[in-house]
Structures are given as structure tokens and as C-alpha cells.
Structure 1
Amino acid sequence: MATVALAVTEGVTIFEVALPCEVFGVNRSDIVDPWYDFTVCAPGAVRFGDWFRTDTAHGLDALVAADTVVVPACRSVHTEPPPDLVDAVRAAHEAGARVASICSGAFILAEAGLLDGRRATTHWMHAAQLAARYPRVRVDPDVLYIDDGSILTSAGKAAGLDLCLHIVRTDHGAAAANALARRLVVPPHRPGGQAQFVTAPVPSDGDHRLAELLDWILANLERPLAVRDLARRANVSTRTLDRRFHAVTGTTPLRWLLNQRIRRAQELLEMTDDSVERIAVRTGMGTATTLRRHFNRTVGVPPDAYRRTFRGDARQDGGRPADAVTWNGSPVQGVRLPAEAT
């Protein structure tokens, strides 16, 4: 069973603490069995969210035993991070843990030296300060989250949930992440590269018509769809359609369509015995060659390797993708999500 440890220190905000508790701490064995073994680690009975205190027997030194460590937003970006937390996070990563931060938790990772030379993100309000204080970090203020292998960072609040779902998808596949998203009544996938905020106002009636179009596209992915077809379906010009897509999804119609086809292909590879040729037809890719090209470029491995990784017979007892699955002689561990909105 994969273990996830949440690091809680004095004064952290309740929302960023609640997110990983909800995703990893609630038993979801009806989705994947076994689910995660979740632990809250804290230096004593610390207070968080101004109302609550932790009640855990696990100190920060217990982080070193976890497979994944989640660091929520720090109490303040204007003060020095707690040295004991910084040391514990560094030790956990050196022991092989995957470390993920939510919002300003990136400051803890940066202080521990884990972000040196890496691309990372945080809440856009704190991005300039993160870059100034830690010049060796390549700060990207415009994305929801970044997966850099063993180090993951996310923007504020809801982006932390996107990152947690991304971790579930990486560990257990698209079907499990989508099932959990439905349980939480949230979108199953917002690409990490999507903009942190949208400058458009509250959705208008036109945006509602776009929502209907998105539902129609998902129900008709097997069709050969072009931008002019989508614009005709929405009864707008291609220019208007492109503008609405950027406002609502943060990307272009064709990029969004490709993302959905890759996601559907992931689900079919996980849940059916359909051949790659058949999946190419069912996802609107046309041919197996086209599917393999886009899938490999987007996800990072060929469809056949992805299927072996996420089918039940390729799992280890812990429920995580088997490290023995290889491609070109290298282990397939942590395939990527559908292409980011760039």
C-alpha cells in the first residue's frame, strides 16, 4: 500500500490541509483496493485554520518513511520557514519520497533546496517573491501545477486539488482519478499548464452554450471533427469559438479536443481489451499510427506500455504501477497527463 504523509505545522490554512485529507485520507477502496495509507505528521499539537489542533502521534521525523509527502501552504511567506519542517522534507526526499507542495508550500521545498534548477509554481501572488528569494528556482507563475518527477508544485487553493487528482491518476490511472473526481463533484482533469486565473467575467449565456458543445464533443469523439464543424455546431464564427475556448478552458479547440481523445484512449487502454487500432477509431484518431504518435508525445510512453502499467496484472501488491514495466530498457513509472494547455 502506498503511503502518503501530510506535514502540518503551526498556523497553516485549513483548506490546504483538508484537500489531501479528503483525497488520500478517506478510504476509497471501492475505487482502488488498497487505497493510500495516510498519515498526518506534526511537531506536537499544533493549531491550524485558527480553530483546530492536530491530534497525531506522528512527528515530522515520520515523513521520512512515506512514499509521498504533501506540504500545504506555509503560515506566511514573509517569515523564515520552520527549520524542523525544512529538514524533515529534505530528509524525506533524500530517502526517496515524492514531495508535493500546495500553494506557498513551495517556499518550504525551495528552502530545503529541492527546487534548485527545477521549474516550479506557486500562487501567482507569491511567485515574484519566490523567484527573488530563491533565484535558482525557475518559477512559472502562470500554471496550475508542475510535475517534475519526484517534485511537484501547485498554485493556490483549488489547484492543490488538481495536483492531488494528478497524483491519483499517475499512481492508479485515469479511470480511478475520474471516479474520484465524480465523487468529489469536480472536473476530472484540468491540465497543469492551464492558466491560474481567467480574465473573463462570470460565464455568460454564450459560455453556457459552449458547455453544451463540450458535452456534445465528448459524446462524439469518434467523429472526424474540425474547428469549423465545432463552430457550426455552436452557431458562432471560428474566431468567436477560439476566443471562448481560451476563456473557458485556457487552450484552443483543437488542443482541448486532442486532450480529450488522449484521456479517452487512456481509459480504454485501462478498462478494455480493445486493440490499439480499435481504440484509434473509437477516439477519433483514425489510425493506430496517429494514436501512437500523439499518445507517446503526450503521455510519455507508447499505448502498449501504458496498458501494461495500469492493468491489474501489472501491479505490485501495493497497488502502484509495477516498476518492472519497461520501455526501451527504462522503467515506466509516472506517465504524464494529457498535454498541457500551451
Structure 2
Amino acid sequence: MLRNVATVIWDGVAPFEFGVVCEAFGLDRSDDGVPLLEFGICAPQPGLVRTSLGFGIEVVDGLGRLEEADLVCVPAMRRGDPLPDGVTEALWRAHDRGARLLTVCSGAFALGEAGLLDGRECTTHWKYTDQLSARFPEAKVVPEVLYVDSGQIITSAGTAAGLDACLHIWRQEYGAAVASAVARRMVVPPQRDGGQAQFISRPVPEIDAETLGPLLAWISAHLHEELDVDSLARQVLMSPRTFARRFRAETGATPYAWITAQRVRRAEEMLERTERPVEWIAGEVGFGNAAALRHHFTRVRGLSPQAYRRRFACGESAESA
């Protein structure tokens, strides 16, 4: 269970990406039912750490702080700089004792320099994925996705994608309700899947084109119904091909992937907050039967619905059905 988080920084740290992990894990949100984590910041040499914008951050703890952490965060750093003395060894010690490691944006280059990305799927900001792949050929770089969870190591793209990865960790550790509470306080969407595209081809619709926002809201309210590209395209008076292209342009995902993610998310909420049988939940979220729900849920979450309920159910007597 995640209880202790440490963020390691050194000269050249990007302040926004540093702020992402502080915002996600360092604030007290216990009044919203969010567990309070022990959060620390450390540096190879305690003292004043210069950011990429020139201002400094006063850091009290040295690398020994990583020894206590369940999660070690590495925000964006200058990509060409060698790792400061002691960082490689400290990261490996954390890894070898089972701590998870999270990078935001170019923080992935630090793990690459340490040799921790060899043989692993990983990502970074889309501008740097080719560079990451060329510099660390043993790493399995996945371009243009929001984040990659390879088990013990989670790598994310820039800025907002770092928040997505942090919420993903909250969801894994404490369930959908807690992750949603954190997202509400940060005023960000509660869930964007890691495989979603980092950017969309036309983020702002042209004046003569209507956004699919109303349709997305309608889909979310009708997940229990049969939803296919042809019927959805008819609702917005488009051909299926045009609709599929527009949908991906606006959401960064295919209609099937987006709807499946929404159904899994709704199933999470029901598993946590109700005692309804899995078969009933499967029908309510549009998977049709328990076998289909188990297949999609386990593929996305890495847990069966029953195991998820046992771990995250809000009540003491939730039915595992």
C-alpha cells in the first residue's frame, strides 16, 4: 500500500513537472477521504537546487530519503546532463527493495541513464521519444501515449500526462473513489487511459464544426445500451468513417477504446460502492455478461472484478458475487 512518497531533484529540474508530483501526492486531502501520504523532497546535495527557470528550491533531505519511499518520483530534468553522483545507486536501491518509480516527461532520461529502462516499455514527451529510443536502444519506447505502466516503473509524457499517471497510481492503490476525489480537487478529468494519444490533431473544432462533447455526455449516460460506430455516427449526421476520424481527433482514442474505458470506470464505481452481483453490474455498464466484464476489467486493471471489490469496497459487507 502506498504510504510514503519521495521526489528526487537536482539542478535543472522543471518546476511545472516538479509541481505535478507535489500536487498529486504532497497535499493533505484527508477532509475528502483521501489518505494522507508522507511526502518528501530530496537532492544529491541538500541545499539550494536551481530550477530550469533559474529560481531555487531549498531542499533539506539527501538521497537517504529514498530509502523510506514506497514511490520514488523523478520529474523532468535536462536531458543531456549526466546523473549527479549517487543518484544511480540510490534509484537502483529503491528499485531492488520493491519501490515503484514514476517519471514525468524527460525524467525518463534519468532512469535510462541509470539503466532502469532496459528491456522495459516506457515513454516520454512526444518530442523526445525518438531521442530516448536512440540514446537507450535497450528501452522499448512507446511513442505518443500518455503514460506506460510497466509494473514497477511508470513513465509519463509531459505536463498534464504526469497528472494522469499520478491519478493512475492513486486508482491502483486506493480505488476509483479516492482517485476521483483527488482529481476533483485538482479540477482535472478523473481518468485518461495511458494508451490514449498525447495530442489530438485538431484540439479546437473549426467554427463550422460542432464538437462531439454532447454526444460523449450522452454515451456516458447510456453505457448500458448497445453502442456502435454506425448508430453513433447517425446521431451526429456523419458517415461512420468521418465519425471515427472526428472522434479520435477530439478524444485521442477510438470509439471502441473510449467506450470500453468508460464502462470499466463505471464498473469500478459500482464494485466499490454497491453490493450488486458482477453479472448485474456487467449489464448496467454495457458489457452484457460477467465473462465480458471480467475480460475487459482484468485486461485494463490487472485485477478481476471480485479481487478489485475485495480490495477497494467502501462497505464492510460488499458482495463478491
Q: Structure 2 length as normaliser, TM-score? A: 0.91
Deviation string for 1:249-291 (max 9, x for gaps)?
2222122111111110011101111111221121122222322
Q: Aligned letter for 2:111?
A: L
Match of 2:257 in 1: 255
1:207–1:248: 8 Å Cα contact kept in structure 2?
A: no
Match of 1:286 in 2: 288
3-state SS of paired residue (1:199): coil
Tell me how far apart the structure 1 counterparts of residues 258 and 133 of structure 2 sit (CA, whole Å).
Answer: 31
- Identity percentage of aligned residues: 50
- 1:4-153 to 2 correspondences below 5 Å: 4-42=5-43, 43-44=45-46, 45-74=48-77, 76-153=78-155
3-state SS of paired residue (2:32): coil
Tell me how far apart the structure 1 counterparts of residues 246 and 15 of structure 2 sit (CA, whole Å).
Answer: 34
Deviation at 1:241, TM superposition (A): 1.3
Match of 1:270 in 2: 272
Deviation at 1:150, TM superposition (A): 0.7
1:5–1:40: 8 Å Cα contact kept in structure 2?
A: yes
Tell me how far apart the structure 2 counterparts of residues 207 and 191 of structure 1 sit (CA, whole Å).
Answer: 26
3-state SS of paired residue (1:55): strand
Tell me how far apart the structure 2 counterparts of residues 289 and 96 of structure 1 sit (CA, whole Å).
Answer: 33
2:205–2:211: 8 Å Cα contact kept in structure 1?
A: no
Deviation at 1:313, TM superposition (A): 7.2
Change (3 A) 1:295 1:207: farther
Match of 1:318 in 2: none
1:64–1:93: 8 Å Cα contact kept in structure 2?
A: no
Higher relative contact order (CA 8 A, sep 6+): 1
Q: In the comparison of the two structures, how many residue pairs are matched? A: 313
Change (3 A) 1:207 1:189: farther
Tell me how far apart the structure 2 counterparts of residues 205 and 281 of structure 1 sit (CA, whole Å).
Answer: 39
- 1:214 aligned to which of 210, 213, 216: 216
Tell me how far apart the structure 2 counterparts of residues 17 and 298 of structure 1 sit (CA, whole Å).
Answer: 28
**Runs (5+) with no aligned partner, structure 2:** 317-321
Deviation at 1:193, TM superposition (A): 0.9
Match of 1:193 in 2: 195
Q: More displaced, 107-116 or 191-200?
A: 191-200
Tell me how far apart the structure 2 counterparts of residues 208 and 180 of structure 1 sit (CA, whole Å).
Answer: 31
2:34–2:178: 8 Å Cα contact kept in structure 1?
A: no
Tell me how far apart the structure 2 counterparts of residues 273 and 4 of structure 1 sit (CA, whole Å).
Answer: 33
2:203–2:249: 8 Å Cα contact kept in structure 1?
A: no
- 1:167-182 to 2 correspondences below 5 Å: 167-182=169-184
Deviation string for 1:167-199 (max 9, x for gaps)?
111111112112222222212111111122222
Tell me how far apart the structure 2 counterparts of residues 228 and 131 of structure 1 sit (CA, whole Å).
Answer: 39
Change (3 A) 1:297 1:201: closer
Tell me how far apart the structure 1 counterparts of residues 215 and 315 of structure 2 sit (CA, whole Å).
Answer: 38
3-state SS of paired residue (2:162): helix
1:8–1:71: 8 Å Cα contact kept in structure 2?
A: yes
Tell me how far apart the structure 1 counterparts of residues 194 and 105 of structure 2 sit (CA, whole Å).
Answer: 14
What's the C-alpha RMSD, in Å, of the aligned pairs?
1.9
Q: Structure 1 length as normaliser, TM-score? A: 0.86
Q: More displaced, 10-19 or 38-47?
A: 38-47
